[in-house]
Amino acid sequence: MASDTTITAGAIAASVKPGEGVWGFSRAQLIALGVLVVFLAVAPFVLYPVFLMKLLCFALFACAFNLLIGYVGLLSFGHAAYFGMGGYLAGHAAKVWGLSPELAIIIGGATAALLGAVAGWIAIRRQGIYFAMITLALAQMVYFFCVQAPFTGGEDGIQAIPRGRLFGVLPLDRDMNMYWMVVAVFLGGFLLIHRIIHSPYGQVLKSIRENEPRATSLGYRTDDYKLLAFILSATLAGVAGATKSLVFGIATLTDVHWAMSGEVVLMTLVGGLGTVFGPLVGAAVIVTMQNYLAEMGAWVTVIQGVIFVACVLAFRRGVVGEIASLLKVKL
């Protein structure tokens, strides 16, 4: 087929035969995973833990988004809704209901799952660009809801969310404890996504991405598969948002705004659509960039726009996709 006419060319070009590697991981992926685990273990002693936690929350968010765009070929332009609502509900549960952090995160994820079920049920009726526009419009609706609803605190957001004690025992006020919990949440989500895309269910998702009418003609109810993928993706985005609101103790309108939906698209695009490690690398690049350029105000938007344009025109495989194709491995 033509080199990169579909949106996830990197993934197709570097796909490996099933059965190779361990637990669905290719050898290159196992090495990369090892590097990642070592990095996560060493990093908090070298870098600022709160920065790392922010990075991991966005990385999980981008991985969740990539599950849809990379493996089902659905571009959701409204993922901020699930990220932000997950954050709001987790914050509300921890602060007002006084629940422990693990329950708050579960509630955040469950809210996002419910929201994703409704939005996905509506949006999967159309494909391609219409799907993108519908998800964007539905997310804007969620945004307006959050502006008006009393429990979100409007412009102020939910502030002073307590981190609480994990399982009622381990105090998370200490950054290092919180860090290990965030690492656990991230790795859990990351491995779950990996498991999903390498399961028989994931194979059907990929066949829908490649040729939906054909998958239908083979007897798969493609809408059911797409809806489940949408719900899974929304849930993990909600978990990421919930974790982030616990880390920073605040949930605001920024996280449900369409600009956040754009940011997660950018992270995934920079890292490499349809690669397992791409969203993580993309999130690291964008979060680091925002950290260093925070004083530049609106120029950050301009720079993000330039990266968007550059990626689409010249760099469609993203960082990880380029490395993978250079080394001829799957990452």
Contact set with another protein (CB under 8 A) = 2, 4-7, 75, 77, 122-123, 125-126, 128-130, 132-134, 136-138, 140-141, 144-145, 147-148, 258, 262, 265, 269, 297-302, 304-309, 311-313, 316
Min dist. Cβ of residue 146 to another protein (A): 11
CA proximity to 188, closest of 138, 149, 240, 230? 240
Min dist. Cβ of residue 60 to another protein (A): 22
What stretches of the chain show up as alpha helix (H) in DSSP? Answer: 9-13, 27-46, 49-71, 80-95, 101-123, 128-148, 175-197, 200-210, 212-217, 222-248, 258-271, 278-292, 299-314, 318-327
Burial of 297 (0-12, 13-18, 19+ CB in 10 A): exposed
Please identify, using beta-carbon distances, which residue of 99 and 133 lies nearer to another protein: 133
Min dist. Cβ of residue 12 to another protein (A): 12
Please identify, using beta-carbon distances, which residue of 41 and 129 lies nearer to another protein: 129
Please identify, using beta-carbon distances, which residue of 37 and 141 lies nearer to another protein: 141
Please identify, using beta-carbon distances, which residue of 47 and 312 lies nearer to another protein: 312
Min dist. Cβ of residue 67 to another protein (A): 16
Separation CA 274–CA 206 (nearest Å): 10
Min dist. Cβ of residue 306 to another protein (A): 6
Two structure tokens written together for 144: 């307006």
Min dist. Cβ of residue 138 to another protein (A): 6
SS3 letters across 286-303: HHHHHHHCHHHCCHHHHH
Min dist. Cβ of residue 325 to another protein (A): 17
Please identify, using beta-carbon distances, which residue of 250 and 269 lies nearer to another protein: 269
Contacts of 297 (CB under 8 A, 6+ apart): none
CA 162 from centre of chain: 24
Please identify, using beta-carbon distances, which residue of 52 and 67 lies nearer to another protein: 67
Contacts of 28 (CB under 8 A, 6+ apart): 324, 327, 329, 330, 331
Please identify, using beta-carbon distances, which residue of 127 and 159 lies nearer to another protein: 127
Q: Residue 149 to residues 207, 228, 250: CA-CA distances in angstroms?
A: 41, 28, 17
